Structure 1
Amino acid sequence: MTTSTPTVVLVHGAFADASSFARVVPELLADGIQVLAPAVPNRSLLGDAAYIASIVRRIPGPVVLVGHSYGGAVITVAGAEDNVQALVYLAGYALEEGESLGELQGRFPDSDLASALVFTPFPVEGSDEPGTDVTVDIDKFPAIFAADVDPDLARTLAVSQRPLAGAAFAEAAPVAAWKTKPSWGLVSSSDHTINPDVERFGYERAGMTTVEVDSSHLVMLAHPKEVADLIREAVRSVGA
């Protein structure tokens, strides 16, 4: 059975998990909006996008895909699914077709994140060569990632990071869903994880409806109402 009511799928980014949407989900559920916040493997851009796409395909009806940070790159690819009707980027990467995270980021000066990254080898099944997990230095995480989030919560997030495999930075997006789907973008103007100009550039290039919030990178936890309002706008566009 299909439904015309859109489902919001919340796609988290690197160094975080679905709990990063914990303050936004209740706002949306209170409005009667269907929500799903899956765990992203954070192993490769193409693999992560394929996983999210497989979830989207199982949803009977239209989908609004919301991506935070690296999750923006993921929805850029997964958003090509037929039932995705709108995209929302939160402090995210809006890649061009054929562009990688490293290429987009390389156009602009580094943020404070660059000097705080930690690289750790991890075993890859079926290979003698290890992969590389990327995380944020635990001591630096609160200031760089979550400066305006409750300090106790920021410290908890710092020790519970979901790493991103280093290979994801070099993979090119095979498609840019924003070219065919209406899109919204939120710039975190006090972001120390992604240079806000990276966000602005990607959104402007895509012709998105854009808002700016004076926020750290974790805008969903710091300013959930503003985030929920932007998602509501995208949801209304699907129902219009």
Structure 2
Amino acid sequence: MMSKIKNIVLVHGFWADGSSYSEIIPILLAEGYEVVAVQNPLTSLADDVAATKRALDRIEGQCVLVGHSWGGMVITEVGNDERVSGLVYIAALAPDVGESMIDLMSKYGSPSSHFKEQEGFIWISKEGVKEILAGDLSAEQIALIYATQTSPSTSLTNEKIEKPAWKYKPSWYIITNNDRAVPPDLQRDLSKRMSATTVVLESSHFPIISHAKEVVDAIKKAANHG
């Protein structure tokens, strides 16, 4: 039986781009879904919201909006669009009204020394990719993330949400128990606050690479939601 929703829009996080979903996309396509991966500029929340809305304009009908990491901030704002039927958060930030990334993260620890600021943008070192983002990935995958990273503007950490879509749309949350980027305790608190349907994976911050099948299963459940 084909899913009720056929369109999946994927939103990436810091130090990534749309290709971070390269393990996810072929599986979804093979099962008959239409997929668009947003290329966030990571220059401002407004810019990322605009890029995601352009992706929505490319599809016909309803969609499930998926956000990884910082992408959760973006889908929390864009998810209010009438074309969005459900939200899937993957180790993602899910702010409430007036909350920023700093507001959420600062309660659970301080920034890593692996983050390097340069001209208003934040890079992550190769060691940081391995230790913080991708502890369960291969050396080749870690090298690829480092080489292709999109550095976020420092301003993104203070951006705030006006109307959180998770209060109005069905939501799913994938918690990554071995995450060193978005603390698992924060993920648990956010998913509970959202009353999200929750999946727990023994994964680093990039389950979209290391646990692609399980992530796809969660996306399919959101697409089939009545």
Match of 1:96 in 2: 96
Q: Give the whole-Å Cα distance in 2 for the aligned partners of 1:94 and 1:217.
A: 15
Check the 8 A contact 1:101/1:169 in 2, yes or no.
Answer: yes
- Deviation of 1:107 (Å): 2.0
- In structure 1, the residue matched to 2:115 is 117
Structure-2 residue corresponding to 1:126: none
Larger radius of gyration between Structure 1 and Structure 2: 1
Q: For the Cα contact (< 8 Å) 1:46–1:173, is it kept in 2?
A: no
SS at match of 1:140: helix
* Structure 1 residue ranges without an equivalent (≥5): 122-131
* Cα distance, 1:58 vs structure 2: 4.2
How many residues were matched structurally?
223
CA distance in 1, matches of 2:167, 2:131: 35
Cα distance between partner residues in 2 of 1:192 and 1:227? 19
Matches within 5 A, 1:1-240: 5-110=5-110, 114-121=112-119, 132-237=120-225, 240=226
Q: 1:34 Cα shift?
A: 1.0
**CA drift at 1:174:** 1.2
| Cross-structure match for 1:129 | none
CA–CA distance in structure 2, aligned partners of residues 106 and 50 of structure 1: 27
**Regions of 4+ moved over 6 Å:** none
Q: Give yes or no for contact 1:189–1:214 (8 Å, CA) kept in 2.
A: yes
SS of equivalent residue, structure 2 residue 219: helix
Would the aligned equivalents of 1:56 and 1:81 in 2 still touch at CA under 8 Å? Answer: no
- Secondary structure (helix, strand or coil) at the match of 2:224 reads helix
One-letter identity of the residue aligned with 2:114: A
**Sequence identity (%):** 35
1:124-160 CA-partner distances (Å, limit 9, x unpaired): xxxxxxxx10121123312221111121121121122
> For residue 40 of structure 2, what is the amino acid of its counterpart?
V
Distance 2:188 2:45 in 1: 21
Q: In structure 2, list runs of 5 or more residues that go unmatched.
A: none
Shift of 1:80: 0.8
The CA deviation string for residues 15-45 of structure 1, in whole angstroms up to 9 with x for no partner, is: 0111111111111111101111121111111
CA RMSD for the aligned pairs?
1.3
> Normalising to structure 1: TM-score of the pair?
0.89
Question: Residue 65 of structure 2: SS of its match in structure 1?
Answer: strand
Instruction: Give the TM-score taking structure 2 as reference length.
Output: 0.94
